[in-house]
Every structure is written in structure tokens, then in C-alpha cells.
Amino acid sequence: MIRPSQLLHPPRTPAAIRDAATVLLLRDSPEGLQVLMTRRSDHASFAPGAYVFPGGGIDALDAQSHAVAARRPTQSDLHLTQAIAAIRESFEELGILLARHADGRMADDQDIARLSRHAPFAAQCAAQGLTLAADTVYVLAHWTGARELSKRFAVPFLVARMPEGQTPVADEQEQFEPVWVSPQQALERHAAGQFFMIFPTIRTLERLARFANADAVLAAVAHEQPLWVSCPRGGLLAGKEVHYMEDEHPFGELALVCPNGEALHPLDWQSASPVPLLRNVQRLTAPNPGFMTGPGTNSYLVGEPSTGYIAIDPGPADHEHLDKLWRAAGGDIRAIVCTHSHPDHSPGAAPLQALCTQAGRATPPILGLPSAPTARAASAFSPDEVLQHGQRLTLTGQSPAGEVHHTLQVVHTPGHAANHLCFLLEEDGLLFSGDHILNGSTTVIDPPDGNMADYLDSLDRLDALCGQYEVDFILPAHGYVLHSARAAIAQLKAHRLAREAKVLAAMQALPEGTVQDWAAHAYADVPPRLWPVAQRSLLAHVERIQSMEPGND
């Protein structure tokens, strides 16, 4: 857990969450799937002028109206209440009525004309002999309002087929201009500045655009679980506020830096100056972006002025980058550690050490593991001091609140490289993962220095450590901070094993095939231009598969 004293933006209590529900009414047209949307009042207290799906707050009467609604056997009480609320709101706002007569006929315009939008809804339906068709309403997704909002809602986004023979008529108070639109059309009009929508609506339409028709959508949600659950976070990109869901790369970094949800953290990749992540952690990205390095190699500084700093992965021998790293530490670098010896990580160690020495400071030792005999020539590395698994590197100093410590625990994690190390900042539960875990891609396992069996074993070691120290954030050598550390590790391991199953299937289908043949099968979901790199990890999978065959133990 992050120490509150290290947060750049201390936690605060977010606004209370109110329960609401919204429904996407779907129909098929000659142009494809369409959804009913409507424009909110320009005077609305929430999202004024935005195009939305009909919906609103859940009333106490919605939970008391179960007897008037039809339900599926697998539909929970909560989902039934949400469906009733969505049916009521679609009636009050747009005059759409999802209800049936006793003989199974859906309500029509004549039934709707007999009901008032301003009187208790369920009681009126019961008096007319109508049963709410809640059994036709399914949960598509669940959104919770962003943490920084002054008014927040927890909203299931529901889906139902539009009843035939009914015409939407806006109430002209809360909602205006009902319109049928395809998801793609809505997104294009929004991009053109003609159809304002808020973030959850945009992301929902992006996912809805993947479906060909209403049947496909309803089939996808028949299991009664939302396809996604999200409470998005905001940041700054090119000076503009942007938002991200949990499965998007910047989300974890925003969760670390701005736990309250304020859109304050810049997400632009740059190498000009260090980016503070916590009071005791800075990141400076080397100017070496590329196919294998992503936005560049992340160098980290752990510490503060009272304790001095440990530099993690100084990166390539780039003088300007190293000078900026040295200046960000106020020249007080106590140790330089390398996660491994690849040429985008360790060559900067010696010149950074020389820079510190020339400035009259004590010479910081270069720490790590020496490169193994299996390493490529460009990855030769010999540290001043060899680190041991479980060893601790500690910075100590005085602050106004008393003595302060920053302790990095050394974790040997062979796999990507034989001499690969990760580092755990114990007091704050942060894992510096080097190239073992990346954000946005999977690391290459390149035999003989790379070993897939070791890599998977190292993932298990990291998972256990994350459980022991309640680690929630992973700081990789390439890409943004990751969140939900143990879930990220589990997902990464599952991905590797799924890929290995494809490699095995390719080997069995083409027993006389070449590595190139197997890669074309096992990596069919990857662009062919990436296959030459993928072949290196494929070889690591082949080695592991062969090692598990009978007689090879």
C-alpha cells in the first residue's frame, strides 16, 4: 500500500454515488444495427446538451414493483429492479413502453396514450392489465461516475429490443430530439462536433459497433453478466482532458498519481524532464523510442532529497538523458541498479557513475547481476557489486515527521534474460519490473539467454511477492504504470500459456514444419511483420514443450 506521505495528491472522500439505470433500445435497419438516442436538456444538472440513452435514477417504487414485472429465471432481484427503472424512464422520457398484455401482445400506442408520464408508473400498468417486460431487458455494462465528479452515478447500461409499432416522443423537458442512429454514425458525428456525447456513451457505442445486429448483442449478454465494468479515470494528453477505462494502458498510472481521479497528470511521452509519480519516485524516459522499446526505456529515481536516490535502469549511454537523470536527483545518486544487461538498460550505468564522481560526490556503485555466458555480445555487463535474491537496498533520512526509509528488495526473475532482476519498494508496495512485465506488449523471450520455463516460474515468484506486500502497481521499463498487479500477472501468464497451446498445435499439425511455418500458425492473430520477432519467443515455447515431454525430465 502506498504511504499517504508519498502521494502527490492525498486521498479525499469522493462524492456519494447514486443509483441509476439506462437502456439502449435496439433495432435492425437496412443499414444495420441502430440504437435510440436523445438529447438532454441544455439546463440539465448532469451532462447538459449531451446525446444519451434514456434513463435516470432508480426509485424506491422500482424495487417494490417486482410483482408487476416478468422476469427470467436467472435474473437477479437487483437486475430486475434496474430493468424496471429503465422501462419506467424510457416511458417517462420518450413514451416507449416495454410491457405486455395478458395474451402476450406488446403494448402499443393506444396503451401508451392511456398512461400518464407523471403518475406512479407500475400501478398504472397494473390497472391496465399490463406486465412490464423486464425479462427482455439485459445488462450490457456497468459504469460508475469518475471519482472527481461532484455528482456521481452507478449505472447499469441495459439493452432491449425496441417494441414494434411504437414511436418515441420526447417529454420536451428532460429529453429532446429522439433519433435512431447506428453506433458508427453517432461516433462519426461526435468526432465532427455535431453530436456531443460523454465518455461512457462513447465507449459503449465503440463496443456496440462491433455487433452486426440486435440478436448478436442480446446473445452476447444472455449470461446475465456485464460485458465490462468501469469507473474511468482522467488525465491530460496534449493539454486536453482525456479519460480511460481499466483495460486501457494509461489507467494504472492515473490511479497511482491521482487516486482521487482529478485529471491533472500529463500522459504525453517526452524525454525532456522527469515525471513525478510519487514524492519518492520519478520516471525519466530515455529518447530511444522504437519497435522494441515502445516510447523509450524508463529510468526511475527512488528516494528524496533527505535520503539521496537510487537510479534504476539508467538506459543507453545517452549523455543528455543521463545528465537529466543526475540533475533530477540533485546529483545525490547513492546507487545505480540495472534490471538486466540489455543494451537499452545498462550501458548508461558507467557514464552516470562517472558523472556523479566528476561532480565531487561519492562514487555510487553499479549493482546488478553479471551477464551470463548465454547473453549476446551487446549485452555484456559486469557490475561493481553482485546483488543476491532477497537482498535489500535501503535509503535512510530525516523528514519533519521523523526518520524515513525507502527499501528496495532484490528479486531474481530470470526468463527475459538470465540476469534479470526486479525490485520491490517495500514501504509502498511498488514493483519495478524491468522488462519482465511491460505495459502494452509482452516481452520477448530469446533463447538461449531467455528461457520460457524460467519466465513463467518468475511470474509465480512475483505473484507471491505481490500478495505478501499488497502490491497494486507495477512500474515497467517500457510503458505506463500498471495497476491491479496480481490480476495483470495472472492475465500475462494466461496469455503466455494460451500462446504456448497454439505453438503446440502448430507443431502437431506441421511436424515437419519450420519455425517460420509454426509462427505463421501460432501467431496468425499477429501482423506478419512481427513474426520474425515472434519466432524468438516461439523457440522458447518449443524448448519448454520439449522439456516436458516424457524422457526429458
Q: What is the pLDDT of residues 412-460, one digit of tens each?
A: 999 999 999 999 999 999 999 999 999 988 999 999 999 999 999 999 9
DSSP for residue 444: P
Alpha-carbon gap, residue 181 to 202, rounded angstroms = 13
Alpha-carbon gap, residue 311 to 326, rounded angstroms = 9
On the 0-12 / 13-18 / 19+ scale of CB atoms within 10 A, 359 is exposed
Residue 151 pLDDT: 86
Task: Count the alpha carbons within 13 Å of 448 in the hemisphere toward its beta carbon.
Answer: 7
Q: What is the pLDDT of residues 224-243, one digit of tens each?
A: 999 999 999 999 999 999 99
Alpha-carbon gap, residue 170 to 322, rounded angstroms = 62
Single out the residue of 233, 255, 230 nearest to residue 244, CA to CA: 233
Phi, psi (deg, nearest 5) at residue 131: -110, 130
Q: What is the pLDDT of residues 375-417, one digit of tens each?
A: 999 999 999 999 999 999 999 998 887 899 999 999 999 999 9
DSSP for residue 505: H
Helices (H) and strands (E) in the chain, counts: 14, 24
Lookup result for grid cell 417517462: 92
Residue 70 pLDDT: 97
Residue 364 pLDDT: 96
Residue 87 pLDDT: 97
Contacts (Cβ under 8 Å, ≥6 apart) of 91? 97, 112, 115, 117, 121
Q: What is the pLDDT of residues 475-518, one digit of tens each?
A: 999 999 999 999 999 999 999 999 999 999 999 999 999 999 99
As a whole number, mean pLDDT of residues 80-99 equals: 96
Element (H, E) at 524: none
DSSP for residue 523: T
Phi, psi (deg, nearest 5) at residue 524: -65, -20
Positive or negative, the Cα torsion across 106, 111, 116, 119? negative
pLDDT bin (cut points 50, 70, 90) of residue 63 is very high
pLDDT bin (cut points 50, 70, 90) of residue 42 is confident
pLDDT at 244 over 90: yes
Whether 439 contacts 478, CB under 8 Å: yes
